[in-house]
Structure formats: structure tokens, C-alpha cells
Structure 1
Amino acid sequence: MREVQLGQHTVKSHGLQLARTHMHDWFILLLLLLIEVILYVIHPFYRFVGKDMMDDLKYPLKTNTVPVWSVPLYAVVLPILIFLFIYFRRRDVYDLHHSVLGLLFSVLITAVITDAIKDAVGRPRPDFFWRCFPDGKDVYDAFGDVICHGDPSVIKEGHKSFPSGHTAWSFAGLGFLSLYLSGKIRAFDRRGHVAKLCIVFLPPLAACLVGVSRVDDYWHHWQDVFAGGILGLAVATFCYLQFFPPPYHTECWGPYAYFSLYRSLMARCQLTM
């Protein structure tokens, strides 16, 4: 019987073909990016904040332990660097393309959902009092609602507590990376290698610590962080399973496209025999 060999599929040999095949996917990514920019710019819902609510919103206004600029670095750039490392070892452009595409979908879908909910809910952050009244002198209208006299951009950001964007992004990117690594090292091959699970659990642990920092910095209530984590992890799982088999599957180490190509070549060889 003739042996079927796929050989290497590199960016140079198959990259352009893959890009053309998935052109609509990349177009949708650009559309998601545009929607995310719009959602970030528009003003959130300014809900009623009365004096009796201020006891829970008087936490100190602190800087971020995890800066905003660092989130794309560890949630997007770091996973892509790991994807590239595996690509240079295996020379499988299908794996590289689908992992990058799945990661970007995971992060951008999460970002759009997160900011849409933020704008619609408009929940005040735990430090809202000092955003609204930086001099500590609170003022209210005839209905008991706040009359803020702080920096408008700071006040706007103060109405974006639910859900946590840092946490959602972290679980969307690092959660996808965890699923990817579990497939590559076959963490659930029933051979009892607990060390593999330690590798798989590292990215979610980092995401959890980011979520904890958001509560410690008084930028979010614990419910915001919990909801952001669930949202990011759920989207990451759905996006991963669009391109790769589940981590417990026997073919978990490669994308669906790789095995589809392999089976088509097998069928072609059998017809020519």
C-alpha cells in the first residue's frame, strides 16, 4: 500500500492560498476591530448614582497594577510568539494560520461583547466618588443624583465597571493559549503526566492574577471580574473549537484543516491504486 506523506506546509508554499481561502474571516476581524473602536469611544450609560450609594464607591483612586498597554502584549503578542515557535519546529502553516486567526477572533469578539455591555450597563467603579468629586466635595441635584465636577474622561471611565475588560481580555487570550498548549502536548492522553497539566494551568493562573489585581486596585467589583473571566474563557473555548479538535481528542495536536487535507490525499491515493 502506498504511504501518504503530507510534507511541510510553509508560509511560502501555502500562505497565500490560505489567506485567500479565509479572506472573509480576516475581513470580519477588521469589522470587529472597527466596532470595538466605536464602542470604546462612545459614552456609556450614566446611571443614577445617589448619595446613599457612595459608601460603596469611596475606595481610593489608584493606578493600574497591570497597565492597559500591557494587556495586548500578554494576551495577544505572547501567544502568537508561542505559535511562531511551534511553527518553526513543525513547519505547518495551517496550524500557525488557524491558531492566530482563532486567537484574534477570541480577543476581538470578547472585546466587542465586553465594551457593549460596559456601555449599556454603565456600572460605577468602586472609586467613582473620587472620579466624580476629586476635591472630596459631593454635590447632588434635586433628585439626589450626582453632579460631577471632575475630569470628563475620568468620569466616563468611571462608568465602565461591568464587566472587567482586563479580565475578559486575559482569559480570551491566555485561555485560548491554554487550550492550544493542552492539544500540542496532549495533556489529556490518559497517561497520567501531571507535569503537562502544570503547563496548561499557567496561562489561566496568570489571567486569574490579573483579575485579582483589578479588585485590589479598586477598579472593579468582584462581580465584574467574575463575569469578565467567564465571558473571556467561554469565547476562547468556542473560537478554539472552530479550528481545533477538543484537547481530549486523539487528533488534538493539529487543526481540522490538517486532517482534512490528509484524508483527501488518502482518498486520492486509493483511487489511483
Structure 2
Amino acid sequence: MYSLRTAHHHVAKAAPLLHKAYFMDWVFVFLLLGGFIILTNMNPFFNLFTLDDPSIQHPYATTERVPSIVGVIYTTVVSVGILVVFTPFLHRKNPAWAHVLNVSLLSLALSVILTEFITEMLKNMIGRLRPDFIARCMPAPGTPLHGLVGIEVCTNPNLQVLYDGFRSTPSGHSSNGWAGFGWLAAWVAGQLKVFHPGTELFRAFLALLPLFGAALIGISRIEDFRHHVTDIIFGAVIGALVAWFSYRKYFPHLGTANCNMPFPPPAFNDSGIETVVETDYYDSLDEMEAAKRGYSD
């Protein structure tokens, strides 16, 4: 008899993204994406400023070292490409590699999109001026050099450029870089088991490489006068924290025996009720070794 369990098995095998255990997680991620899009179309808080503030008198760079779309490609597309290419290879002897890929993509998506949502919300609420704000503003002649003034003294007809001048804190490039590459560093460390005894040093170096990329993206924003140093640090902290949260939501900590495998999904019986999946999963290397000794006895 073709039961609901059999049907679910075939659906999950053919399309891991539709796995019942993660469907609502994907829905939540896409809702966050929708919220992020809404936030990007909202006006930020228009802070007051003074024309003689040297921290906002830097020139406006028409050519950026890492444009926004390039930053997304670096942090997101590259990370996804690495997952798609290397997951089947690293788990070539594991029939459940599609499950590993699905959970990895979900965890990465949560890291990047949740970070973008938080970053954009804070940008709009804080309204800090970018280092190149005066060049964006184009103050009207006769505007007093001393004393606080508002956006009404600006004459730049390009409102998109002008309003974006109030979105300095935190740095989106920095937070996105650490959300994508920070998460990727944790994933590589887990897949290569870099914290297991006897692991070669070059594996740890491979896990650190994404972090250098994230740092360089943040530094480029200072060189382009798009952000203050504190914006970069704030963004990096947000991205790194969300990346670690998103990784640990689906993967065990890096010292576990099976750190290269995500937490096992719940199974569903014919009534659609979640049940615990029986699996040889150990919280530590010592626990795994103890289990092996128990089996040998």
C-alpha cells in the first residue's frame, strides 16, 4: 500500500528543499527576504549635521572597489558555488549528501538574509552620515558652517544618493561579508574536521581563507570613504554573530565526532506526527570512542 510515509520519502529524495522538516524554515527565510526588500525602500532617519564636521567631508567615490552587486557575488554566489560543488564530493560515500546540501544552503541563506534584515533595519533607525555625506549633500550657498542643519540645505537632485548618505551604520558590505564568508569558514572547518586531533594544518588554513575575504571587503569600504571604521567593526560583529547562530542552528559544534553532518531531521509517521530519528550521533569524540568500545565488547 502506498502510504503517506512512502510518498514523503520519494518527495524528500527527489526534492530535498521540500523536506517536511525544513519547509517552514525556508518559508521564514523568504519572509525575512521580503522584509529586507521593504526596509531598503524606506527612508532612513535624517540626522542633523554641521558642515564643518571633518568626519563627513571626504570625497564621493564614483567608482567603488567592491560594488554592492560584486559584494553579493563574492559572499553569496561564491559560497553557494562551493557548497554545490564540494558537498557531493566530500560526501561521495554518503547517500544522504543531498540532505547535507539542503541544510547547508538553508543555514547559509538564513545567515545572509537575517544579517541583511538586521543591518538594513539598524541603518534606517540610526541614520548616521557617511564620510562622504557633504559631497552627496551639495549644500546650498549660504548654509552656515557652524551649527546644526538638516537635509533641507542639500541640493543634490539624486535623492537615492542623498538618502543613502544617512545609511552609514552598520556597514552592509561588512556584515554581509562576515555573514557569508564567516558562515563558510565554519562550514569548511566542520566539513574538514579541523579541530579533530591530528588534522593537517592546511585544512585549518582553508577554513580561515573566507575570513580574510570578509575582512578585505570591509577594508575596501573605508578606502572608498563609504564607511567609518566603527561602521565596519559593527557590521562585522553582526555578521559574525548571525553566521555562528545560523550555523549552530543546523550543525553541531566543531569538536563533535560528526561535525561534518547536520543535525538529523525529524521523521514523520503516517499520521504526519514528528518522531525522533534513530541515528549514531555523538556529542563528542570521546563519546564515539566509548560507543565503539561498547560495540567491540
Give the TM-score band, short-chain normalised. Answer: 0.7 to 0.9
Secondary structure, counterpart of 1:125 in structure 2: coil
The one-letter amino acid of 1:20's match is: K
Q: Is structure 2 residue 149 aligned with structure 1 residue 145?
A: yes
Q: How far is 1:234 from its partner?
A: 0.4
Give the aligned partner of residue 45 of structure 1: 45
Question: 2:259 is matched with which residue: 249, 252, 256?
Answer: 252
Distance in 2 (alpha carbons) for counterparts of 1:253 and 1:35: 32
The one-letter amino acid of 1:75's match is: T
Give the aligned partner of residue 80 of structure 2: 80
Q: 1:192 to 1:137 in 2, by over 3 A?
A: farther
Q: How far is 1:11 from its partner?
A: 8.7
Q: 1:12 to 1:210 in 2, by over 3 A?
A: same
Alignment of 1:25-44 (within 5 A): 25-44=25-44
What is the CA deviation profile of residues 86-109 of structure 1, one whole-angstrom value per residue up to 9, with x for unaligned ones? 333225111101100000000011
Q: Name whichever of 214-223 and 91-100 sits farther off.
A: 91-100
Q: How far is 1:163 from its partner?
A: 0.3
Secondary structure, counterpart of 1:253 in structure 2: coil
Alignment of 1:122-141 (within 5 A): 122-133=127-138, 137=141, 139-140=143-144
Give the aligned partner of residue 181 of structure 2: 174
Q: 1:75 to 1:17 in 2, by over 3 A?
A: closer
Distance in 1 (alpha carbons) for counterparts of 2:41 and 2:142: 27
Q: How many residues of Structure 1 are paired with residues of Structure 2 in the alignment?
A: 255
Distance in 2 (alpha carbons) for counterparts of 1:140 and 1:20: 62
What is the CA deviation profile of residues 140-185 of structure 1, one whole-angstrom value per residue up to 9, with x for unaligned ones? 5996304100121111010000000001001001111110000111
Distance in 2 (alpha carbons) for counterparts of 1:221 and 1:97: 37
Distance in 1 (alpha carbons) for counterparts of 2:163 and 2:125: 13
Q: How far is 1:15 from its partner?
A: 2.8
Alignment of 1:191-210 (within 5 A): 191=198, 193-210=200-217
Query: What is the identity percentage for the equivalent residue pairs of Structure 1 and Structure 2?
Result: 29
Q: How far is 1:191 from its partner?
A: 1.4
The one-letter amino acid of 2:163's match is: K
Q: Is structure 2 residue 118 aligned with structure 1 residue 113?
A: yes
**Kept in 2: contact 1:94–1:258 (CA 8 A):** no
Give the aligned partner of residue 172 of structure 2: 165
Unaligned runs of 5+ in 1: 1-8, 266-273
The one-letter amino acid of 1:225's match is: I
Which structure carries more helix by proportion?
Answer: 1
Q: How far is 1:19 from its partner?
A: 3.0
Give the aligned partner of residue 64 of structure 2: 64
Distance in 2 (alpha carbons) for counterparts of 1:137 and 1:209: 39
Q: Is structure 2 residue 216 aligned with structure 1 residue 212?
A: no
**Kept in 2: contact 1:14–1:93 (CA 8 A):** no
Q: Is structure 2 residue 279 aligned with structure 1 residue 263?
A: yes
Give the aligned partner of residue 235 of structure 1: 242
Runs of 4+ in 1 over 2 A off after TM superposition: 9-21, 86-91, 136-144, 258-262
**Kept in 1: contact 2:52–2:145 (CA 8 A):** no
Distance in 2 (alpha carbons) for counterparts of 1:197 and 1:39: 38
Q: How far is 1:139 from its partner?
A: 2.4
Unaligned runs of 5+ in 2: 1-8, 267-275, 282-297
What is the CA deviation profile of residues 6-52 of structure 1, one whole-angstrom value per residue up to 9, with x for unaligned ones? xxx99972535853332211111121011001110100000111234
The one-letter amino acid of 1:61's match is: Y
Secondary structure, counterpart of 2:206 in structure 1: helix
Distance in 2 (alpha carbons) for counterparts of 1:204 and 1:116: 25
| TM-score, normalised via structure 1 length | 0.86
